[in-house]
Amino acid sequence: MNKTLLSLTKKAAALLLIVQCLMPAGALHAKTSANTKADKPGVSINTATLKNMVFSRQLAAIPSSLQSFTKDVVNELSLQESFGQWKNASISYQPLGPGTHSWLATVSQNGKPIGYLILTSTDDGNYMLSEYGRDESMPYNTQALYSRLKQLGILQAGSKLPAGVSIEARYSALLPVWEISQPGKKAIYLHGITAEELPLQTASDAKAAGGLTPHPGIRVAGTMIPVPQRITDPYDNLMWLASPKLSLKQNGDLMQAVTKGRNSLVFTSPGRNADYGAPFAITGIHAWSADGSESEILYAASGKNGSRFLPASELIGHGEFHSLNLSQI
């Protein structure tokens, strides 16, 4: 059996084992947008026009407070070696529907996207950094969306979108989502990074809580950089399924677990994996602080090469952590 076949067999076995060991994924709950305009029939679509079509319908004034907060975060991250390209980068904004509760801020250098931030409005009218990352984990990838729409038969011959079909970019507490609405059919939801179809019937606009908000002197106070040896795909090694669940109840517990030895962590949320895009590996930490605050806000590095950072507070208490000891591979 050649290496390619072994790799495919390993992936298939991994998927089967995940399904057997974890409860069925839950659903994200909320209403679909009722005011999205239908696309005109017979319009030729490519990846560029697809992006313009999705986001041009959601144009909105960009709050100055949002821009100021975003620039503070980008400037601080640009001081980190892995985000060095962000120095003097340009920032563009697209609201994530429905409404303007969340925003995608795309960081670009010489016209090329190199990173992103997703910011969500809070109950007190402020903004929170819901997640951020480098280009390896860019959400709302219209090239992946384009390919998936063709596979699903929604983009038909001649790359034309049928009349009445609409596409909306949404964000739901750690999960970028494409919502595809079709006349007389249930909406289809695709993962905003991988474009994989999600087993959902409705999409939520739930907000992540406990992340970084605007404060004077925000800065990255400490980092636990992912080491190259750490695995970033839990499907590549299923040993975490057999490892005991770790008792992580606060920031210090997570930081200690991430920095211990050569272990990676795997986060999973039995019964709600679809809500979080889980399972995924955690391989590093960014610790943020602000002037006048004694507590730190942690963001856990996940995704390819630890390139996507998620609020640790949204993981602790909302799922399970398992250890993956790479020395046993």
Angstrom distance (rounded) from CA 221 to CA 260: 19
Name the DSSP letter for residue 268.
Answer: E
Return the half-sphere exposure (C-beta side, CA atoms, 13 A cut-off) of residue 218. 22
| pLDDT at residue 12, rounded to an integer | 43
- Region 283-310: mean pLDDT is 89
Q: Quote the tokens at residue 64.
A: 């100055």
Give the CA dihedral 66, 121, 321, 188, nearest 10 degrees: -110
Q: Are 313 and 234 in contact (CB under 8 A)?
A: no
Kindly report, residue by residue over 36-46, the tens digit of the pLDDT: 333 444 445 66
- pLDDT of the residue at 61: 82
Residues 6+ apart with CB under 8 A from 10: 236
CB 66 within 8 A of CB 122: no
Strand 284-289 to 280-282 pairing: unpaired
Residue 88 backbone class (left: φ over 0; alpha: ψ -120 to 50; beta: rest) = left
pTM: 0.81
Given this model, what pLDDT does residue 2 score? Answer: 41
Query: Per DSSP, what are the bridge partners of residue 225?
Result: none
Any idea which residue has 């002037």 for tokens? 291
**Mean pLDDT value across the chain:** 78
Mean of pLDDT values over 3-31: 38
Six-digit token pair at 119?
């910011």
Reply yes or no on whether the pLDDT at 257 is more than 90.
no
Q: What is the residue extent of each domain of the chain?
A: 23-207, 219-328
Distance between CA atoms of residues 213 and 227, nearest Å = 28
Higher pLDDT, 130 or 162: 130
- The side-by-side arrangement of strands in the sheet containing 297-302 is 90-96, 102-109, 112-121, 127-134, 308-311, 297-302, 284-289, 219-224
Could you report the per-residue pLDDT of 117-128, keeping only the tens digit for each? 999 998 888 899
pLDDT in tens, 197-210: 887 654 555 566 67
Q: Where in 174-218 does DSSP place strands (E)?
A: 176-181, 188-191, 197-198
Closest of 122, 6, 17 to residue 69, by C-alpha: 122
Nearest-10 Cα torsion for 29, 99, 55, 110: -110
**Residue range 273-283, pLDDT digits in tens:** 887 888 998 98
- Residue 178 CA to residue 231 CA, distance in Å, equals 28
pLDDT of residue 259: 79
* Per-residue confidence (pLDDT) for residue 88, from 0 to 100: 95
